[in-house]
Chains A and B, each alone.
Chain A
Amino acid sequence: MSAAAGVAGRPAAGPSGPSAAVKAGRAVRGYAPAVLVAVGGLLVWELAIRLANLNAFILPAPSAIIAALIENWNGERFPLWQSAQNTIIEAVGGFLIGTTAGVVVAFAAARWGGMRALLLPLAIAANAIPIIAFAPLFNTWFGLLNPLSKMMMAAVLSFFPVMANVTRGLSGVDPGQLELMRSYAATQSTVLRKVRIPNALPYFFTALKLASTLSLIGAIVAEYFGGQGSVLGRMIVQSASALKFDITWAAVSLAAIAGIVFYLVIAAIERIAIPWHASSRSED
């Protein structure tokens, strides 16, 4: 269906869009400037550090970071790959818990107006609290060495955007669509299935993209406050206190890559799940 996205605003054209090759070409052209800027930035960074002879203490060169990454990939003191895996498990676990809870509460809130009136102000208030400040408490509640304490931090951070967005998507339906469904004498469950849920999907995916980033932040920050050793948060804290900043940067880079990949996976699922939505249509 994404093929049809190419003909936006041109009803005369058939539903078959441009060929795959043309689309691939467009995608390359679309991303080329960003890739060029990124590569250029890394080159400038590398050159600036070599020419200015800056201390690696302040900012290691990209080449040094990559070297540290390769060197410590399966390192004994700084096992970066193992750490990245553990952190990703915590983040994804928390993301799943938080998202599930957010969807369940959103459905309850959309179903029972009274519950919505009760929950939304509470949720907004709770969302205004810097939840990350609770990280040390979470470690106490769910066990310092138990990955669950990190997962729960990620889960709480993921919960709010999902709950708020899905509630809005389920209840914020075009009144005309509801009137139409009423004229068909449709039952509430039919309205839910055929109108409210499809209407909420774009909101849901927006929330998932937010939650993907937040869950990784939650997991890493919770790790800063202690716990099992082989996680990115511990790698960052320990390498920094050992003044091995190239390793710190390598761990941060891994976290960044994990965040980007997580986001892209969700964006890809979004394109497949809701090709009709504006956010999924290719620009023309």
Chain B
Amino acid sequence: MAGSADTAPIVHIAAVDKVFAGREGGRTTALSAIDLDVRPGEFVSLIGPSGCGKSTLLRVIGDLVQPTRGSVSVNGKTAEQARKDRDYGMVFQAPVLFDWRSVEDNVKLPLEILGKDRAWRAQRAKAMLELVELGDFTKHMPYQLSGGMQQRVAIARALSFEPRILLMDEPFGALDEMTRERMNDEVLRIWEQTGTTVVFVTHSIPEAVYLSSRVVVMSARPGRITRIVDIDLSRPRSEESRETPRYFELITGVREALRAGGGDVDDAGTPSAARTMAEGAVG
């Protein structure tokens, strides 16, 4: 489960700033003085209002965006080296599937790029698609799948080459609430089975609390970390976890941290709304 406090961090972010140059010479500080350690096997969520830089921070970790100042090290390497070593599995809000490839071939794509042999690719694709419960859809084309199924293919693809770290950028943001809760359970199951480290961007408080070992609360303009909330709900988490008093306390805690940071809070984040949602899913 979540690594103990004395384990060396797998991701170490120190004093990171990111400033984007605007069109008319203006400058936007997307990230300011970010310090964050992620321990191996941990599930860390980044939450905050739009424009708080949570996606930028995820991209800084994944070496898709270069920090203006500060340092990022992953497994003791630079983020760039980690990317070149294929330490990252990425899942975006859009599934980003390749229309011309079948479900199975989409999952095989990173393995082809890594130069894995044919038999291994087939074996991994089959195993990963079974893991996300799409074993019967290997030959389908992406357009034949629903949005939730497409996102599961994206997750299978991200896991196919056994990356050390899974970076997920609002992966379920486009899904309806019911599908989203099912996907949350699926991600937790996969995380528990694979033991991979997950950094997860979301703007849903219940989602962040339900999934995470720790929730990193961010605020906007400039994007900074205002609080880190430890989520001490017992594992494995399930439908019952969503009904415990502690779950609601934690949701309230994260919400208050967001308010204190000046963020707008998603209404679905209120305990009563979350409770209604949970009851709806059961009934």
Contact = CB atoms under 8 A, between A and B. Distances in A.
Interface stretch (A3-11, A140-148, A235-243): A3-11
Interface string B82-94: 0110101110101
A194 B112 CA distance: 10
A4 B98 contact: no
26 contacts: A4-B139, A4-B140, A4-B144, A11-B137, A11-B140, A174-B96, A176-B94, A179-B90, A179-B92, A180-B90, A182-B64, A183-B62, A183-B64, A183-B88, A183-B89, A184-B86, A190-B113, A194-B98, A194-B109, A198-B100, A201-B100, A276-B99, A276-B141, A276-B143, A278-B143, A281-B143
- Please name the 10 residue pairs, one residue from A and one from B, whose CB atoms are nearest each other, closest first: A176-B96, A183-B90, A198-B100, A15-B139, A185-B84, A184-B113, A276-B100, A186-B113, A184-B110, A11-B145
B86 A185 contact: yes
Contact of A4 (B109, B113, B141): B141
Contacts of B62: 183
Contacts of A190: 113
Contacts of B15: none
A15 B146 CA distance: 15
B114 interface: yes
A184 B114 contact: yes
Contacts of A1: 141
B149 interface: yes
Given A177-B98, A201-B100, A11 B146 contact: yes
Contacts of B145: 11
Given A176-B96, A194-B112, 9 more contacts: A4-B139, A4-B140, A15-B140, A174-B96, A177-B98, A179-B64, A179-B96, A185-B113, A276-B101
Nearest to B89: A183
A195 B84 contact: no
A134 B64 CA distance: 50
A247 B186 CA distance: 72
B144 A10 contact: yes
Contacts of B143: 8, 276, 278, 281
Nearest to B163: A183
Contacts of A198: 98, 100
Most central of A11, A179, A183 by chain B CB within 10 Å:
A183
Contacts of B98: 177, 194-195, 198
Q: How large is the interface on B (under 10, 10 to 19, 20 to 34, 35 or more residues)?
A: 20 to 34
Interface in B43-67: 62, 64
Interface in B113-160: 113-114, 137, 139-141, 143-146, 149
Interface of B: 62, 64, 83-84, 86, 88-90, 92, 94, 96, 98-101, 109-110, 112-114, 137, 139-141, 143-146, 149, 167
A279 to B, nearest CB: 12
Contacts of B100: 198, 201, 274, 276-277
Contact of B144 (A8, A179, A183, A201): A8
Most central of A190, A195, A276, A277 by chain B CB within 10 Å:
A276
B83 to A, nearest CB: 6
A10 B139 CA distance: 14
Contacts of A9: 144
Contacts of B112: 194
B113 A176 contact: no
Interface in A182-202: 182-186, 190, 194-195, 198, 201
A17 to B, nearest CB: 11
B201 to A, nearest CB: 14
A278 B100 CA distance: 11
A190 B113 CA distance: 8
Contact of A177 (B64, B88, B96, B167): B96
Contacts of A195: 98
A273 to B, nearest CB: 10
Contacts of A186: 113
Interface string A1-45: 100100111110001000000000000000000000000000000
Nearest to A4: B141
Interface in A157-177: 174, 176-177
Contacts of B109: 184, 194
Nearest to A181: B113
Contacts of B114: 184
